[in-house]
């Protein structure tokens, strides 16, 4: 299981340090990895040397630090060979500049040359100011790396060195060390040349859900006030439909229960159209006994009007008071069945994303929850998800919703199969 740190004996990584303030954390990362039995060879960019000295890293690892490909002491080919002999190259911290370089395949210093010439997995832990992280160019580059099969570890949101708060902090050192060790362990079990199955990232590959029956809810619900008015929300259905398509691509038998949207149904899914939360609940109840996996992406209205009027309510000068009743919680109902399918929830929060999402996963008693910032996610073409499961959290960096849905489904499939 991810999250349990067992020794990763006889494994060897190149720890690449690039020039950001989080470089000082690389010392602790090297120490934690070595404690787990991992051999660490450090390679630094020139810029990284302004933030942490090679002498520190050399003293910690007991090996000379590689910096310059023109270094007379050893020839550059030997340096490249070191990258090739490693079980992984881990770049921590990875600056926006270095990520851009990797995305373009540039090789203008020793570390980037090692990355380009490598014969092993590349793990990248971004660390930068929130605006650099949010910049479209960085997001494009990160998405490109993910498509190239690179593992993106983090970043997370929090207070930054510059005093600002937001997304871009490097994953905490312990968490990073855990991710690296888990990666190295998974390599032991599946063999060096084969790709890892089910890792979170944006890799479009691997899992097969052939024959697995899946129910996915999507879109908003509409709670009538009268014949022409109602309560709804801005969910477009894009995320849920993308999840349905991604599941269908993996061979799952998908039933998509959708509130009102303007979208075409993905090819091959069984579509059930509903309007209100009560109808969605009915549709789910009828089909859930046969389901293996349930994914609630719908933004279900939490309340409905106690007595909707069959006719249009006439305007008057006085206040109009509506009594609202709570709607059934569909996901909580499914998760509480005696033999529930594997349940995945979504959480759209406008603040305190981690705290609320963690509480929601617990309250609904579900193994996996995908959290997103409501104001960025709803209606948008792109999104960013943080997955919460028993092993902790996994960031799926900003990408179009189908790319994210594919990555999410890889993770869902892996957890689902682990439970069988």
Site for ligand PMT in 308-347 (CB under 6 A): 327, 329-331, 345-347
Binding mask 206-235 for ligand PMT (x = CB under 6 A): -----------x-x---------------x
Nearer to ligand PMT, 208 or 375 (CB): 375
Q: Nearest approach, Cβ of 108 to ligand PMT (angstroms)? A: 40
Nearer to ligand PMT, 255 or 327 (CB): 327
Nearer to ligand PMT, 32 or 331 (CB): 331
Q: What is the DSSP letter of 29?
A: H
Evaluate whether 355 touches 372 at the Cβ level (below 8 Å).
Answer: no
Q: Nearest approach, Cβ of 3 to ligand PMT (angstroms)? A: 23
> In sequence order, what E strands does 284-364 have?
293-296, 303-305, 324-326, 342-349
The pair of three-digit structure tokens given for residue 228, joined into one six-digit string: 């022409």
The pair of three-digit structure tokens given for residue 130, joined into one six-digit string: 């929130």
Nearer to ligand PMT, 193 or 262 (CB): 262
What span, in angstroms and rounded, lies between the C-alpha atoms of 93 and 22?
6
Phi-psi group of 158: left, alpha or beta (phi > 0 → left; psi -120 to 50 → alpha; rest → beta): left
Nearer to ligand PMT, 42 or 300 (CB): 300
Query: Strands 213-218 and 165-169: what pairing?
Result: unpaired
- Tell me which of 49, 115, 162, 343 is the catalytic residue: 162
Q: How many binding residues for ligand PMT (CB under 6 A)?
A: 29
Name the H helices within 191-307: 238-249, 277-287
Binding mask 364-383 for ligand PMT (x = CB under 6 A): --------x-x--xxx----
What span, in angstroms and rounded, lies between the C-alpha atoms of 56 and 59?
5
Q: How many residues does the chain have?
A: 420
Q: What are phi and psi of 231, to 5 degrees?
A: -110, 130
Active site annotation includes 162? yes
Q: Nearest approach, Cβ of 180 to ligand PMT (angstroms)? A: 30
Considering only 299, 402, 405, 409, the residue that binds ligand PMT (CB under 6 A) is: 299
Considering only 69, 95, 160, 236, the residue that binds ligand PMT (CB under 6 A) is: 236
> In sequence order, what E strands does 230-389 have?
230-231, 253-258, 270-273, 293-296, 303-305, 324-326, 342-349, 368-373, 382-389
| Binding footprint of ligand PMT on the chain (CB under 6 A) | 217, 219, 235-240, 277, 296-300, 302, 327, 329-331, 345-348, 360, 372, 374, 377-379
State the catalytic residues.
162
């Amino acid at each position: 299981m991810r999250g349990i740190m067992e020794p990763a004996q006889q494994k060897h990584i190149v720890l690449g340090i690039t020039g950001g303030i989080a470089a000082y954390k690389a010392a602790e990362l090297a120490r934690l990895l070595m404690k787990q039995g991992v051999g660490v060879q450090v390679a630094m960019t020139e810029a990284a040397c302004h933030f942490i000295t090679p002498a520190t890293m050399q003293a910690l690892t007991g090996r000379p630090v590689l910096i310059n490909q023109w270094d007379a002491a050893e020839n550059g080919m030997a340096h490249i060979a070191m990258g090739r002999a490693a079980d992984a190259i881990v770049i921590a911290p990875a600056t926006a500049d270095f990520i851009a370089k990797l995305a373009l395949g540039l090789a203008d210093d020793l570390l980037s040359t090692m990355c380009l010439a490598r014969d092993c997995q590349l793990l990248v832990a971004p660390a930068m100011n929130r605006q650099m992280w949010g910049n479209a160019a960085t997001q494009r580059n990160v998405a490109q790396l993910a498509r190239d099969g690179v593992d993106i570890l983090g970043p997370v949101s929090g207070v930054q060195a510059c005093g600002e708060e937001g997304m871009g902090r490097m994953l905490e050192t312990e968490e990073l060390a855990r991710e690296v060790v888990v990666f190295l362990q998974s390599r032991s079990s599946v063999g060096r040349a084969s790709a890892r199955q089910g890792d979170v990232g944006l890799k479009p590959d691997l899992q097969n859900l052939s024959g697995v029956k899946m129910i996915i809810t999507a879109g908003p619900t509409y709670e009538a006030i009268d014949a022409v008015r109602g309560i709804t929300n801005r969910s477009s259905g894009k995320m849920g439909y993308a999840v349905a398509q991604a599941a269908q691509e993996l061979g799952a038998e998908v039933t998509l229960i959708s509130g009102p949207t303007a979208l075409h149904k993905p090819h091959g899914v069984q579509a059930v159209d509903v309007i209100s939360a009560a109808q969605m609940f009915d549709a789910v109840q009828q089909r859930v006994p046969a389901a293996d996996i349930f994914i609630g992406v719908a933004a279900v209205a939490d309340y409905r009007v106690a007595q909707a009027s069959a006719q249009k309510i006439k305007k008057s000068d006085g206040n109009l008071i509506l009594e609202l009743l709570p709607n059934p919680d569909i996901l909580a109902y499914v998760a509480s069945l005696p033999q529930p399918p594997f349940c995945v929830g979504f959480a759209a929060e406008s603040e305190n994303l981690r705290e609320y999402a963690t509480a929601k996963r617990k309250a609904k008693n579900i193994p996996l929850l995908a959290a997103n910032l409501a104001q960025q996610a709803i209606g948008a073409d792109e999104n960013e998800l943080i997955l919460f499961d028993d092993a902790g959290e996994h960031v799926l960096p900003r990408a179009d919703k189908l790319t994210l849905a594919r990555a999410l489904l890889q993770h869902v499939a892996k957890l689902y199969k682990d439970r069988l």
